[in-house]
Chains A and B, each alone.
Chain A
Amino acid sequence: MLRVIVRRLLQLVVTLIALTALIFVWLRNLPGGPVDALLGDRATPERRELLIKALGYDQPILVQYGKFMQRMLTGDFGNSIRTGDPVLEVLGRAFPATVELALAAMVIAVGLGIPLGYLAARHRGRTLDNLTIGGTLLGISIPIFFLGYLLKDVFTQNIHWFPPSGRVSTGLDNTNVTGFFVLDGLLTREFDATADALWHLILPAVTLATIPLAVIVRITRASVLDVLNEDYVRTAEAKGLRHSTIRARHVLRNGLLPVVTTIGLQTGALLAGAVLTEKVYNWGGLGTLITDSITGSRDYPVLQALILVAALVFIVVNLLVDLSYAVIDPRVRVR
């Protein structure tokens, strides 16, 4: 087990180094650049020249990359071109926002997905099953931004149940401890703030949860159906075991293996989905940061760090999924 973890961590380091080089070269070959963004409508050749020199963009790309790596290894990711804030501070603000959103979406997706998939399998071919399958098809095919705007239109413009955007009400005087607003409210006993944050969280989380929910329902259903047909289930039934025992010990446990993999993969996909969801809901997380950094200002330092973090999260989540396999299925542990 330890060897597996060490090998995976080594892979992670190599992947990250390759990624930094790739991102670095790619970003610097995009048309337009931070110089134009910084100068705005008032760019003159002299100003461009001064800035290009000041920022070191006139040096060979290898030299630039070397300097970047040197700084990065000391934990210095530089400052955002757009705001001048240290990149780690910028990421530190955006990270909790996205994690909070992704967690809420995952809670919805897993919390509803597994029971629904299980029930659909148990009632195979009946109305509940058909409805569930139809619903998941819709969930998978509907574009996130469309769903986001649709939900917003219905629930914030027509029926005023939810706020249109943001993480908390404007002007709310809440204390920021961890950056997770729902949690902060609980920690500081400002329960109003927690309620406010949850109230803002619902629509974006539902939007973001749609695809993973649909996927989880389908995988659970298929997997449970497979298991229900297995000989050992039939044997258990023949032995006269209680239904609840069979469900918990045999069907759910074995049926959940592929579901766990899916959850891991979907967690990675959530980050991608967050780009659109966050844009629609002005969420201020990593997704918003990515779009802002690419479209507005070519914010190289932020983009570099962001892509690294995203890759890191993806790799770590996959590692955790593999490890959780070992927990759920002892056969994996033996290998």
Chain B
Amino acid sequence: MQARGLRSAIAVAAVAVMAAGAAGCAASDRDEGGEGSAAGGTFIFAGAGDPKNFDPIFNDDGESFRPVRQMFETLVTHKPGTAEVVGGLAESWEHDATGKVWTFKLRKNVKFHDGTAFNAAAVCYNFDRWYNMKGAAAQSQMLYYQDVFGGFATNEAETAGKSIYDKCEAKDEGTAVVSLNTYKGAFPGAFALTSLSIASPDALKKFDADKVTQNGDSFEYSAFANTNPVGTGPFTFGGWDKAKNEITLNRYADYWGDKAKVDKVIIKIIKDENTRKQELRAGTVQGIDFPAPSDRKALETEGFQVLNRPAFNILYMGINQKNNPKLADLRVRQALAYALNREQLVQTKAPGGSSVASQFMPDTVLGYAPDAQKYEYSPDKAKQLLKEAGAEGMTLNFYYPPDVSRPYMPSPQEIFTVLANDLQAVGLKVNGVSRPWNGGFKDDVQQFGKHDLHILGWTGDYNDPGNFVGTFFGRPKPEFGDEKMTDMFAAITAADATVDEAGKKAAWEQVNRDIASKWLPAIPVWHAPPAIVVTKDVKGLVASPLTAEEFNTVTVSAS
């Protein structure tokens, strides 16, 4: 009897295997039949990771911003394809002579997805909401808000600074006035930050948006953030199916601007880079982000559109002056700069369209100094300077993360190898230290400053020199062991506080000149354009230097 049971079990298993095979054949036939017809109205894009949630203020990463940007809008925004600041939800804006009072003339006839009106009161509701946010959970997650405004009405962190936000007034339906305590050079660029998107006050209240609670090691976000995000953008939230890894966005029929051309956008989350490429080749997705530089040519040859975003980033070789006293000598740092053959590195290891960097920001940012000192490749000069400083043959601990790929640093290991060879060629000894990105590298470099040299970089958030140079060198950091460079900190603070446009430009240009010739706290390496790839039937996608592509202009024709 038991044997009979076993026998039937085996029989069932065999039938199941055969059924699976048969169904597979049937399904594959079906696929070849007519999938094309459904493609016209839906744009499927492969994302590389999970978004955190959809409440803009609590997010700071590209994967969250991709869907958020389609649903929400900011007061000012960037001209498509550039980092130039133009009107968004505000048609125009101006600041007073002190630079502290910003008046926004708002766009008319704009409605949130829930049908409520967008107006000055809604703008102020959002600004006040951010400023008054309470709780360690919420405040620790509003990274961009803190970057820009410095603090909250009541700070949870003892070390947090005073907020520069004063108040927001709705002068009339279409005029919102935001007052700050001090001028900050980051504005108006920072008003374009996706984190500072304007959400529907009604929805924020209805879905408890401020309720970010802590549970054990983690935070739980509100229904607004998870399932009911409501903005003014060209797409509304359709859902996030976490079992299928799909985020659906639907066309918003009442959108004030260029209405979306596709009915639906699906962001399919595929974490493996190779799989994203295979899905693209199989035609199951129509776009992927950040292809490996080595794949770009192949993808182009296969007929895909590889769109280069204008580079809005910087890769640098950082120098920590603290551990190795010789590195505090400017001549030694200049020797390192002369020793690097950056031109060759760009040609061999950088993505197509990259350029050698001579400053810590791209030339499209205000305050770029065309006449700043450049360090052309010269091993002889390097050797001579090292000799003068008595630093010949010294050993340098060079930290790099082998396991990550960033838009500005696609393959850290390869970059390290080339840079280390250049340094060895001028007689220096390089001790390579590889540490996992999130398991040692960032801690050792940014917190503990254990290194002598390292590679790292940055992608700009908005068009302002403070967001590049200020972020790196505006104050002492363990990363550069630079606490003695007080002149540099003072010059950057002064440049950032200059209200008048011409004066601001001049001040930042001088900062960049001095960084290159007098201070040289690190060595700029390259600006690398990250790419976005779409199939050939995708039209109308404008690649953005800030990786802030908007999908309402996209069409997908069934070819």
- CB of B136 within 8 A of CB of A167, answer no
- CB of A78 within 8 A of CB of B243, answer no
- Name the CB-closest residue of B to A39: B143
Interface set, chain B 265-317, CB cutoff 8 A to A: 266, 268, 270-272, 274-275, 278-279, 281-282, 284-285
Determine the chain A residues whose CB is within 8 A of the CB of B4 once the complex forms: 248
- Of B21, B32, B160, the contact of A160 (CB 8 Å cutoff): B32
What are the interface flags for B1-28 relative to A under an 8 Å C-beta threshold, 1 for contact and 0 otherwise? 0111011001001101100110110111
Interface set, chain B 428-483, CB cutoff 8 A to A: 435-440, 442-443, 446-447, 458
- CB of B442 within 8 A of CB of A50, answer no
**Total A-B pairs, Cβ < 8 A:** 235
- CB of A296 within 8 A of CB of B10, answer no
> Smallest Cβ distance from B466 to chain A, in angstroms?
14
- CB of B157 within 8 A of CB of A49, answer yes
> Smallest Cβ distance from A189 to chain B, in angstroms?
15
Determine the chain A residues whose CB is within 8 A of the CB of B354 once the complex forms: none
Interface set, chain B 390-405, CB cutoff 8 A to A: 403
A252 to B11, CA, bound (A): 14
Question: Does A226 have its Cβ within 8 Å of any Cβ on chain B?
Answer: no
- CB of A111 within 8 A of CB of B242, answer no
Question: Does B232 have its Cβ within 8 Å of any Cβ on chain A?
Answer: no
- Of B143, B157, B244, B271, the contact of A292 (CB 8 Å cutoff): B271
A81 to B436, CA, bound (A): 20
- CB of B2 within 8 A of CB of A327, answer yes
Determine the chain B residues whose CB is within 8 A of the CB of A297 once the complex forms: 438
> Smallest Cβ distance from B268 to chain A, in angstroms?
5
Determine the chain A residues whose CB is within 8 A of the CB of B435 once the complex forms: 31
A46 to B24, CA, bound (A): 55
> Smallest Cβ distance from B148 to chain A, in angstroms?
12
Determine the chain B residues whose CB is within 8 A of the CB of A65 once the complex forms: none
- Name the CB-closest residue of B to A192: B30
Determine the chain B residues whose CB is within 8 A of the CB of A217 once the complex forms: none
Question: Does A334 have its Cβ within 8 Å of any Cβ on chain B?
Answer: no
A301 to B217, CA, bound (A): 7
Specify the main secondary structure of chain B where it touches its partner.
helix
- CB of B214 within 8 A of CB of A163, answer no
A195 to B113, CA, bound (A): 36
- CB of B458 within 8 A of CB of A41, answer yes
Known: A41-B458, A166-B245, A168-B244. A256 touches B6 (CB 8 A): yes
- Of A68, A79, A156, A164, the contact of B219 (CB 8 Å cutoff): A79
- Of B143, B246, B403, B436, the contact of A47 (CB 8 Å cutoff): B143
Determine the chain A residues whose CB is within 8 A of the CB of B157 once the complex forms: 46-47, 49-50
- CB of A55 within 8 A of CB of B439, answer no
State which of A8-16, A132-140, A266-274, A278-286 sits at the interface with chain B. A278-286
Determine the chain A residues whose CB is within 8 A of the CB of B146 once the complex forms: 47
- CB of B440 within 8 A of CB of A32, answer yes
Known: A164-B284, A280-B275. A84 touches B219 (CB 8 A): yes
- Name the CB-closest residue of A to B461: A42
Question: Does A287 have its Cβ within 8 Å of any Cβ on chain B?
Answer: no
State which of A122-130, A197-205, A228-236, A311-319 sits at the interface with chain B. A197-205
Question: Does B81 have its Cβ within 8 Å of any Cβ on chain A?
Answer: no
What are the interface flags for B138-182 relative to A under an 8 Å C-beta threshold, 1 for contact and 0 otherwise? 011101101100000000110110000000000000000000000
Question: Does A45 have its Cβ within 8 Å of any Cβ on chain B?
Answer: yes
Question: Does B499 have its Cβ within 8 Å of any Cβ on chain A?
Answer: no
Determine the chain B residues whose CB is within 8 A of the CB of A195 once the complex forms: 23, 26-27, 30
State which of B49-57, B118-126, B335-343, B368-376 sits at the interface with chain A. B49-57
- CB of A171 within 8 A of CB of B218, answer no
- CB of B284 within 8 A of CB of A163, answer yes
- CB of B160 within 8 A of CB of A50, answer yes
> Smallest Cβ distance from A157 to chain B, in angstroms?
6
- CB of A50 within 8 A of CB of B136, answer yes
Determine the chain A residues whose CB is within 8 A of the CB of B219 once the complex forms: 79, 84
- CB of A79 within 8 A of CB of B13, answer no
Question: Does B61 have its Cβ within 8 Å of any Cβ on chain A?
Answer: yes
A-B contact pairs, 11 of them (CB 8 A): A37-B438, A49-B159, A56-B217, A84-B219, A93-B242, A107-B16, A162-B24, A171-B264, A179-B243, A296-B438, A300-B217
Interface residues of A (CB under 8 A from B): 30-32, 34, 36-43, 45-51, 53-56, 67-68, 71, 76-86, 93, 96-97, 104, 107-108, 110-112, 114-115, 149, 152, 156-157, 160-172, 176, 179, 194-196, 198-199, 201-202, 205, 248-249, 252-253, 256, 279-282, 284, 288, 292, 295-298, 300-301, 327-328
Given A160-B28, A327-B2, 14 other A-B residues pairs in contact with their CB atoms under 8 A: A32-B436, A40-B61, A50-B139, A76-B215, A79-B217, A79-B219, A83-B53, A84-B219, A110-B10, A157-B281, A164-B282, A171-B248, A176-B241, A328-B2
